[in-house]
Amino acid sequence: MVTRRWKQRWWFDGRGVEEEVVRLEEGGATIVENERQLQKLLEASQLQLKHKTLDEYAMDTDMIDSDAPMTSPADQIEDARRLLTLAHQLLHQGKPSQALQAVLMFMKGTGGEAAAFEALNRAKEVYMKKKSESKAADELASLFAECAIAEALPSISIAEESPSSNLEPDGGGTSILTESGRKQVMLDAFSDGSSFVCLQCGGLVSNYRKDEHFAFWCCNGDTC
């Protein structure tokens, strides 16, 4: 029996993996010992090389991420200010939807999706509360205006008036707007604070012409 031992060296990534193959020759027949073990060793070596390559790639990616400039807190604050300024500009331009998108971008950048969702719910609650308060205030102002006008103006039936009689308030203190069926105009003007009802003549007077009205125009004043 002639026995021959020899070695093969496989190189992977600069590191040698020594594999010993024992071959036995007998009567011209070659028997390969541990063939399965050799195959497994090759597969394991190749798999190790593949995994090492992937690890190196992941390491390179981590290095790239670590080398990338990090956003400083000052830059984040500046970006937030830009987004909020943009939102105000869009709102003044009559683009509320785009303004809302800018605000949501700001919220997502600072607190994520949860913060944006919470801000939307809070804004909705504030809007509904303001809306109900505004409606109640409008109703109260209209009621107050109706009471003031009812106190200032005598209750009379609306009669047919000539075109010339609609130009001035009559001497009895009845408003021309009321007599012509435009009482709602008086209510609106009084409720928005731009005008007032004169308690002497019953006329609807602009706040800017208050002094002139009492000095020159009020029919129940000293000048009439």
Lowest mean pLDDT among 140-149, 170-179, 186-195: 170-179
**Nearest Cα to Cα of residue 108 among 123, 98, 96, 120:** 120
Instruction: Tell me the one-letter amino acid at 185.
Output: V
Tell me, yes or no, if the pTM score tops 0.75: no
pLDDT at 208 over 50: yes
Position 149 scores a pLDDT of 65
Lowest mean pLDDT among 31-45, 91-105, 129-143: 31-45
- Average pLDDT on 60-88 reads 60
Q: Hey, what are 142's tokens?
A: 């209209």
Query: Predicted confidence band at 185 (pLDDT cuts at 50, 70, 90)?
Result: low
What would the pLDDT profile of 27-53 be if each residue is shown by its tens digit? 444 333 434 443 444 444 444 434 433
- CA 172 to CA 200: how far, in whole Å? 10
- What residues does each domain of the chain span? 2-66, 76-133, 153-217
